Structure 1
Amino acid sequence: MAANTDRNSKPSVYLQDPREVQSVFNRFDANSDGKISGDELAGVLKALGSNTSNEEVARMMEEIDTDKDGFINIQEFSAFFKAETDPYPSSGGENELKEAFELYDQDHNGLISSIELHKILTRLGERCTEQDCAGMIKSVDSDGDGCVSFEEFKKMMTNNSGSNSQAEPPK
């Protein structure tokens, strides 16, 4: 997940379904205490390959932690990722999607392969096989090349119908 630290920016990922929001929240909440600490946020960003500085993590925490208790609860997390009616706001939503895509595109060839997806999901603690990842990719691979292009990724991430749940990793 690409995280944009600009205080005026919109969230980088457009989560539509409350179950998706809870699932992503649970991945961030490493110790399952119902809140995300700065260390947990930094850990997920690092696992995704982001070189986010401690200062950037602190700014992100400050932006999302609206009750200023030092943690992000599910309500704050959900509010931060609340779906926009326009998935490409003038603040650069497409650029943010490109950043998220690039986290998965480990070899920077413009495509996400099942190997790359498996690598990232494994780093995030998901238990799935490369075959599972190939199936996830197949569900959004409209041109049949066995990979996810940015256009396919963008379509999946901005799908308002919730049908992108097919691309979620197995639990």
Structure 2
Amino acid sequence: MATFFGSMEEMKKVFNKFDKNGDGKICRDELKSIISALSSQPPSSGEIDQIMMVMDKDGKGYIDLDEFIAFQGITGTDGDDNRIGNEELKDAFDFYDLDKNGLISANELHAVLKRLGEECSLSDCKRMISKFDDNGDGNVDFDEFKKMMTNA
């Protein structure tokens, strides 16, 4: 299954950038730091708790690589197919929908990937968007995003 981040190797690179201390886990403080860097307003403590609750499926208090990948909607490293529900899909969609207009544009995708440290041109982002833009409007709406992430 494809994601905006692409291959499993790219997902591991993104995870490793989030995992500041290199222990193989994204803790609450690392998550807060990431989200603060990506958003215009720092997240509240409650918002961080809610995100941790959604992503930390086993309840161990941190996000491991499999949980991070499952949140992105691709097959986990253990080979199990990790499907995510509508709430998690909406959270993931909202992560990319910077202007909150219900669409992910190539510019938004480019901005998010750039903030994540990914080297990706705007042209690359336009190509990624066009792969999933079923209605040809130049954006990915939630239904297109859901279809992409669930491989439906």
TM-score computed with the length of structure 2 as normaliser: 0.66
Map 1:100-115 → 2, pairs under 5 A: 100-115=92-107
1:146 aligns with 2:138: yes
2:142 matches 1:120: no
Higher-helix-fraction structure:
2
Bigger strand fraction: 2
Rounded Cα–Cα distance in structure 2 between residues aligned with 1:27 and 1:130: 21
Cα distance in 2 between the residues matched to 1:34 and 1:67: 16
Deviates more, 1:122-131 or 1:75-84: 75-84
Do residues 36 (structure 1) and 26 (structure 2) align? yes
Partners of 1:106 and 1:78 lie apart in 2 by 21
Gaps of 5+ in 2: 77-81
Tell me the secondary structure at the aligned position of residue 112 of structure 1. strand
2:59, 2:95 → 1: CA distance? 30
Q: Secondary structure at the match of 1:148?
A: strand
1:168 is matched with none
Q: Identity of aligned pairs, percent?
A: 50
The residue type paired with residue 36 of structure 1 is I
Determine the structure 2 residue equivalent to 1:45: 35
Deviations 1:89-139 (A, max 9, x none): xxxx32332232122122222211100111111111111111110011011
- The residue number in structure 1 matching 2:148 is 156
**8 Å contact kept, 1:42–1:57:** yes
How do 1:1-171 and structure 2 match up within 5 A? 22-49=12-39, 51-54=42-45, 56-57=47-48, 60=52, 64=56, 72-74=63-65, 83-84=82-83, 87=84, 93-159=85-151
Conserved 8 A contact 1:25-1:77? yes
Shift of residue 154, structure 1, vs aligned partner: 0.6
Tell me, what secondary structure is at the counterpart of 1:95? helix
**Worse overlay, 135-144 or 22-31:** 22-31
Query: Residue 95 of structure 2: SS of its match in structure 1?
Result: helix
Contact 1:47–1:120, Cα closer than 8 Å, also in 2: no
Native 8 Å contact 1:65 1:71 kept in 2 = no
Q: Which amino acid aligns with 2:116?
A: L
Question: Normalising by structure 1, what TM-score?
Answer: 0.60
